[in-house]
Structures are given as structure tokens and as C-alpha cells.
Amino acid sequence: MCFDFSAFSLENFSDPCQQELHPQARVGLALFAEGRYFEAHEALEEAWRESQGPQRALYQGILQVGVAYYHILQGNYTGALKMFARAQANLEAFERPCSGVDVPQLREDARRVEVALRALGEARIHELDRKLLKPVPMISSE
């Protein structure tokens, strides 16, 4: 019996994190950068639903960070902490950038916000420095 190896090219084994961002993910990242976290969630959710592999976890993790930020702005301390935990679970496997997103920096930015939030506590959630809510960090394509 002879096996046909022609279907197995190097393209089929490429690094999934080298793939382009889904078009709706790009929309979601732009909305996220504007602080429009609810709208960013909608766009990123569409990208998440249409994706597979690492991008699926990436998009879900990003949208969960955005939902955590949204909860903070709405004064929902418990909701924010739950979303940070879920986001970190989705993003922890990324030890390097993926699809142009600097995931390690995103995780660090989210951790910094979570630490500040915990330090303030629920009663002082509105005192959180909004400058900590940074856009999703991207790597340059140079």
C-alpha cells in the first residue's frame, strides 16, 4: 500500500500564530482601543465563533479582558474579577505574540489592572486609574 504524501505540504504545518487576524478581530481591537468594550466584545465574539485553533482562545481571552474593563466601568467588582480569571486561563498558553498581538504584554497589562482593582476593593472600584485600561498591545511587523 502506498501513501500519498502530496497532501502534506509545509504550509499545512505552519505556525497558527503566524496567521492574519480575523477581519472582525481587527474591528474589535479598534473598538477596544477606543474604550468601547461592549462593542469590541460583539466583534471579537464573531471572530471567535468563526475561528479555530489558537486564534479561538486568543479572541476569547481578549474579549474577556474587555468585558472585565467594561465591568470595572460599570462598578461590577465581582464580574471584573471573574472575567480576569477567565481571560488569564485563555491567554496563559501564549508565551509569545500570536497573530500580531503581544499576548504576554496583554496578560501583564490585565494583571496590573486586576492587582490595582483588588487593592482598591469593591467599595472603591470607581477610583481605579482609567489610564491602566490600555489597548491590546500589538507587535510591529518589521
Tens of pLDDT along the chain (142 residues)? Answer: 443 434 434 444 567 888 899 999 999 999 999 999 999 999 999 999 999 888 999 999 999 999 999 999 999 999 999 999 999 999 999 999 999 999 999 999 999 999 999 999 999 999 999 999 999 999 975 4
Q: Quick check: is 137 in a domain? A: no
pLDDT at 141: 59
Displacement of CA 40 from its chain's centroid (Å): 11
pLDDT at 3: 35
Q: Quick check: is 14 in a domain? A: no
CATH of the domain at 66: 1.10.3450.10
Q: Which long-range contacts (CB under 8 A, 24 or more apart) does 46-52 make?
A: 47/21, 47/22, 47/23, 50/22, 50/24, 51/22
Q: Quick check: is 39 in a domain? A: yes
Q: Quick check: is 11 in a domain? A: no
Identify the domain containing residue 116 by its residue range. Answer: 21-132
Q: Quick check: is 3 in a domain? A: no
Supply the pTM of this predicted model: 0.87
- CB neighbourhood size of 38 (10 A): 12
Q: Quick check: is 105 in a domain? A: yes
Q: What pairs with residue 138 in β-bridges? A: 101
Q: Quick check: is 9 in a domain? A: no
CB neighbour burial string for 88-120, b if at least 16 within 10 angstroms, e if fewer: bebbeebeebbbbbbbeebbebbeebbeebeeb
Q: Quick check: is 15 in a domain? A: no
| Residue 135 contacts residue 98 (beta carbons within 8 Å) | no
Q: Count the domains in the chain.
A: 1
Q: Give the Cα-Cα-Cα angle 53, 56, 60 (nearest 5 degrees).
A: 155
Which 3 state secondary structure label does DSSP give 95? Answer: coil
